[in-house]
Amino acid sequence: LIQEKIARMKSGLYALESMLYLTGGMIDAGVLKQYPIEAAICKVFGTELSWRSIDELLQIQGGMGYMRHMGTERVLRDIRIGTLFEGTTEINLLQIAGRGLDALGKVLMRGGLSSEPTRPSLGPLPHQIEPLGKQLENHIAEFSATIRSMLMGKGATLMDPTQQHTMELTLQAVARSVIDLYAMVAMLIHTRDIIPQAEASGYPELAAGPITLTDYFFREAYARLSDNSRIIKEGGNPELVAAAARA
């Protein structure tokens, strides 16, 4: 049980590190002139990871974690502001989905919604992570097809501010999927760059950790992507709505 907590914390931390390297690199290179979506993605992922990690640390420490000399209880209190300050998680999720779908909708309208999407290609990858690259290409293609189908059926409702509150669960699922896919792309690029550096140093085993963490994160993310894909296709989560109505 402790190993599970540590694996999720470590893989999440490597994912966040990779996302920040990717985003910062694109900004420095001038690829991104404006980056509200990327910033929101990193903010949501990072603050939620921080909160989950310190909560799990307290769980690992048990009652001792409440003791002031351990330091955990103060961090637990202080870090909670992250998901609230500078835009709550909920607002950022709606921003990620709203801005992304708006931009994608305009692109698709120019090319025609019914046209076949271009299959993504991540280029050549080291053999150690080539299977993960194929998995990611499949995930992106599936997500793209799901979003295109959704826009064709409910695009007007999604972009209508007066109707947006009825689509929040769908928008959240879209945003969560985008965050996972962005993290997976970032991790793959980061690990791709680490492998030849490790081999050139004469210590190829240094790449084993990043490869293992990337593989583990991909396995966890696949389950989340599947759940969110179902919510998007169903146009929300009727079971959740029904349960909330009973509250």
How many Å from the N-terminal Cα to the C-terminal Cα in the chain?
Answer: 33
Question: CA 122, CA 131: separation in Å to the nearest integer?
Answer: 12
From residue 111, give the alpha-carbon distance in Å to each of 104, 118, 148, 151: 11, 12, 12, 14
3-state secondary structure 142-174: HHHHHHHHHHHHHHHHHHCCCCHHHHHHHHHHH
CB neighbour list of residue 194: distance below 8 Å, 6 or more residues apart:
206, 207, 210
Cβ atoms of 73 and 66 within 8 Å: the answer is: yes
- Structure token digits, residue 153: 């059926």
Task: Report the C-alpha gap between 158 and 155 in whole angstroms.
Answer: 5
Active-site residues: which are they? 86
> Is the torsion defined by CA of 228, 233, 236, 240 positive or negative?
negative
